[in-house]
Structure 1
Amino acid sequence: MPGTVLLLAASPLGRGRLVDAAGVLPVLAAVAPAVLSGTDTANVVELADPLEPQAVLTRLRAAAAAPGPLTVYLTGQLHLDRRQRRPHLALARTTPATVRYTALPWAWIREELRLRSAADTALVVDLHADAETWRYLAGQPLDSGRTTAVYGRVAPPARGRGPAEPVYMKAVATLLRSGHRPPLGELHQHALARAAEQGAGGDLVFSGPGGFAQRPAPQPVVPRPAPQPVVPRPYPPDAVVTAPAAPGDPHAALSEAVRAGRHAEADALAARQEEAAVRAFGPASGEALHWAEVRADLAMFAGDPARSCRAWLAVAGVRLAAGQAPDTPAVEAAVDRAHHQWGSIKDTARARELGPALAELRLRVPGRRRGALENVQRHLRQLQAG
């Protein structure tokens, strides 16, 4: 089965640029697609200094939905939005004052990859942080999701003038140009060692499943076996889970069932996981909400937008009832996805039934797209008139 590779390099134009992110793309693009992916064949999508976060989200969503292994090579810089103080990947038009509207929330990356298994999903990152974000990361690990294997680093603010070089990602690209892709853990250690030779140090380092970063100094290169996938465990919203997995990762079984078109089987498996989480930890627990979100996505993959919309509405309702703020990324994402699925419902009666609940939620959770509430109200009036 072919793999998918997403090459994403993004940094602001002008004085706000901390790293010459796009400069690494020619080196990565010179690597054979099969080597980038670690599969026999691969489809490669390249995004250089994109302008709009929604456009990046669309490409990321399509890559995450593609069958087969997925590897994302991501180079860029991190900033906090002034309102929520959450990490965002800066894009070409991002300025300190417009992070919330012109940058890609890091939570979106985590959300889009959450249904995939760590066994076939990897992020390779070379990120740079401004001073404010670096202080934030000292006490709040950057969370990329518990079902994604992450390798790379977050570099502190550069001391010299001008944009820094993505030396870690360039080392990765140079190593891969040999035509051989070793296990990612081994590739990562070699790249860290080469980056250290060029003066990199003091970085936050990602190394394996769980999507967290820590501060070890680069170690001598020792070939290590590939990491095991993670096992679902109870966790509160935005927590980091790093426990190693048992071989029977349910996410891998779900992915296989969806690819084979066995949608009822996939939903039944996820339903059992959700029921067990509710019994053990309660309906508002992070584990129960995770499986509710998985079932919402499974309904979308099965071509049932009404069921998916209803599930996302329920997830948003539980999160709000549990005290999460309307502008929490997980709440916004749930309402946005309910809205998207509602717009895909072809059965007028079912769309009319779900419309008022969505409109009520949009009053509380307007989201980041201007006119979202007006769009729901207008479409609902059309449905009711028909």
Structure 2
Amino acid sequence: MGNDRSGTGAETVSGPGYALLLAAGPVGKQRLMDAAAALPQLAAVSPAALLGTPGGASVVQLVDPVDPQTVLTHLRTAAAHPGPVLVHLAGQLTLDAKQRLPHLALARTTPRTARYTALPWHWLAAELGRRPPGSTVVVADLVADETAWPPLSTAGPSALAAGLTLYGTVAPAPPKRRLATPDYSRAFAGLLRSAAERPPLALLHQRAALEAGLGPGPELLLDGAGVDGAGSIEAYPPPDAAPWAGRTEQSAPLGATGQTGPSGAAGPAGAAGQNGVTGATRAAGPVAASPPPMPSGPPESFRPADQPPVPPALRAPAPPPPGWAPVADPLASTHAAIFEAANAGRHSEAASMAAAWEQEALRTAGPRSDDAIHWLEVRADLSRIAGDPARACELWLAVADARLGNGEPAEHPEVEGAVDRAHHQWQFVADRVRAGALAPLLIELRGRVPGRRPGALEAVRRRAELLRAPARTR
């Protein structure tokens, strides 16, 4: 699950888990959120569901601590735990007056004393960042005061990710004399309590944000996109072309040079121009390389017999009538810049640019809008290029879930295509625990969206059974 590169919440370490539930905020007029209201619902979630660990977990609650050293001690205890770890934070962010770094405000924090009385965010990142990849997740339900919100809203989620797998939300301070409520935490806990199987974190996050009414407002949604080490795995070729290739609708404004995205997210200078993308006539695609080895076991590969058709709305536009000059398409240039970075191995840079555009779509159109779903698709393809099939599978499952939630029929080409791509990527997930965590949702969606290839559902079920069987030792 803070270093989980797949974002599935599936641990790459075994044993009982450990959850630290922290609710904090200044006393008196400086308090911006009723942070403690997040804890009763979270405490009512079974430890196994909260951590995704059938073997159970220890859950520690820390309410309104006074001393940052006390919080640091609890973080170090969590970081030293050998099993999976979840840290949930509810409260408010502020900046210290000297270094202007983000801090989590504690009971005695004031604007002048934040440096000494609040928890530096980089302490949190440093302690949890030392843990094994795939073992930790941070869930945050935060508001940012008048010192922290302007730089955070400009920098976007990457300002807090710092190598963590970070899900949740950061909102600006509420109007005076009002306290924000931890609606995201309540929705997150409610979904865990009602779910028969713990869903992948990206999907759980998406549903919690939707139930909490987040997305159209100014808040930042932290969707796990800032994971570390994204550039450490070689790219491998897709089984098919990116489904959104050739899309021409502009989902958000782009600078005149095509070098920056929303919230000032930078793209490679001159990247679009170097590729010659001046109109909506070309979409960048990934480079070819060798795929990773398939998981051991019987050949249960599901490969769609035919590439799912690209919907008309996403196809390359027809050439302009004679005498018409081509119109520059900012989004095509954006795609070119993003995928040039990805194909050059700069996966973190590509993911950050895509995440910034997704944030813009969430703010302007909402979590299940066409634009937001489009950027989910882009992020899924970036995960594929980065060699992270578990993350790609999870994001394609989220795309399918969102489309079905919007009322699109199971036989719609875009719904079928999303499930087919999730299924295909799932085959490449060699880690048994990650693959097993994704299996129940894939089986559920395959039951609703069987696709056009006979036996697809049975293929998933057979591999899921193999994954549940004890691993063979030699």
Mark the CA change 1:43 to 1:219 in structure 2 (over 3 Å): closer, same or farther.
same
The residue aligned with 2:368 is 220
Mark the CA change 1:200 to 1:63 in structure 2 (over 3 Å): closer, same or farther.
farther
Distance 1:83 1:98 in 2: 10
- Pick from 188, 199, 202: which aligns with 1:182? 199
The residue aligned with 2:246 is none
Alignment of 1:1-386 (within 5 A): 1-40=15-54, 41-140=56-155, 141-146=158-163, 148-159=164-175, 161-179=177-195, 180-196=197-213, 201-210=217-226, 214=356, 215-216=359-360, 217=362, 218-220=366-368, 244=386
Mark the CA change 1:193 to 1:39 in structure 2 (over 3 Å): closer, same or farther.
same
Q: Which has the higher contact order (CA 8 A, sep 6+)?
A: 2
Question: After superposition, what is the alpha-carbon deviation per residue over 1:315-362, rounded to whole angstroms, capped at 9, x for unaligned?
Answer: xxxxxxxxxxxxxxxxxxxxxxxxxxxxxxxxxxxxxxxxxxxxxxxx
How far the C-alpha of 1:145 sits from its partner, in A, is: 2.5
Relative to the length of structure 2, the TM-score reads 0.45
Mark the CA change 1:143 to 1:3 in structure 2 (over 3 Å): closer, same or farther.
same
How far the C-alpha of 1:35 sits from its partner, in A, is: 0.8
Q: Secondary structure at the match of 1:123?
A: strand
Counterpart amino acid of residue 31 in structure 2? R
Question: After superposition, what is the alpha-carbon deviation per residue over 1:79-103, rounded to whole angstroms, capped at 9, x for unaligned?
Answer: 0000111000001111111100000
The residue aligned with 1:267 is none
- 1:19 and 1:128 in contact (8 A); partners too: yes
Deviates more, 1:150-159 or 1:16-25: 150-159
How far the C-alpha of 1:137 sits from its partner, in A, is: 1.1
How far the C-alpha of 1:162 sits from its partner, in A, is: 1.9
How far the C-alpha of 1:209 sits from its partner, in A, is: 4.4
Q: Secondary structure at the match of 2:61?
A: strand
Counterpart amino acid of residue 70 in structure 1? V
CA RMSD of aligned residues (A): 2.8
Distance 2:145 2:126 in 1: 24
Stretches of structure 1 that go unaligned for 5 or more consecutive residues are 232-242, 248-386
Counterpart amino acid of residue 6 in structure 1? L
Distance 1:67 1:142 in 2: 28
- 1:9 and 1:74 in contact (8 A); partners too: yes
- 1:113 and 1:145 in contact (8 A); partners too: no
Q: Secondary structure at the match of 1:97?
A: coil
How far the C-alpha of 1:68 sits from its partner, in A, is: 1.3
The residue aligned with 1:309 is none
Deviates more, 1:107-116 or 1:208-217: 208-217
How far the C-alpha of 1:73 sits from its partner, in A, is: 1.1
Question: After superposition, what is the alpha-carbon deviation per residue over 1:199-228, rounded to whole angstroms, capped at 9, x for unaligned?
Answer: 972211111242588534141298x99x99
How far the C-alpha of 1:196 sits from its partner, in A, is: 1.2
How far the C-alpha of 1:181 sits from its partner, in A, is: 2.2
How far the C-alpha of 1:110 sits from its partner, in A, is: 0.6
Question: After superposition, what is the alpha-carbon deviation per residue over 1:99-130, rounded to whole angstroms, capped at 9, x for unaligned?
Answer: 00000000001100112244221111111001
Question: After superposition, what is the alpha-carbon deviation per residue over 1:269-288, rounded to whole angstroms, capped at 9, x for unaligned?
Answer: xxxxxxxxxxxxxxxxxxxx
Relative to the length of structure 1, the TM-score reads 0.55
How far the C-alpha of 1:161 sits from its partner, in A, is: 2.7
Distance 2:153 2:207 in 1: 25
Q: Secondary structure at the match of 1:95?
A: coil
The residue aligned with 1:311 is none
Larger radius of gyration: 2
How far the C-alpha of 1:4 sits from its partner, in A, is: 0.9
Q: Secondary structure at the match of 2:99?
A: coil
Distance 2:129 2:51 in 1: 19
Distance 1:244 1:125 in 2: 26
Mark the CA change 1:177 to 1:204 in structure 2 (over 3 Å): closer, same or farther.
same
Distance 1:14 1:126 in 2: 20
Which structure has greater helix proportion? Answer: 1
How far the C-alpha of 1:29 sits from its partner, in A, is: 0.6
Question: After superposition, what is the alpha-carbon deviation per residue over 1:170-204, rounded to whole angstroms, capped at 9, x for unaligned?
Answer: 1111111225421111110001101117x972211
Mark the CA change 1:162 to 1:58 in structure 2 (over 3 Å): closer, same or farther.
same
Q: Secondary structure at the match of 2:107?
A: coil
How far the C-alpha of 1:245 sits from its partner, in A, is: 5.9
The aligned length equals 232
How far the C-alpha of 1:244 sits from its partner, in A, is: 4.6
Stretches of structure 2 that go unaligned for 5 or more consecutive residues are 1-14, 228-351, 390-474
Q: Secondary structure at the match of 1:143?
A: helix
Q: Secondary structure at the match of 1:111?
A: helix
Question: After superposition, what is the alpha-carbon deviation per residue over 1:218-270, rounded to whole angstroms, capped at 9, x for unaligned?
Answer: 41298x99x99x99xxxxxxxxxxx95668xxxxxxxxxxxxxxxxxxxxxxx
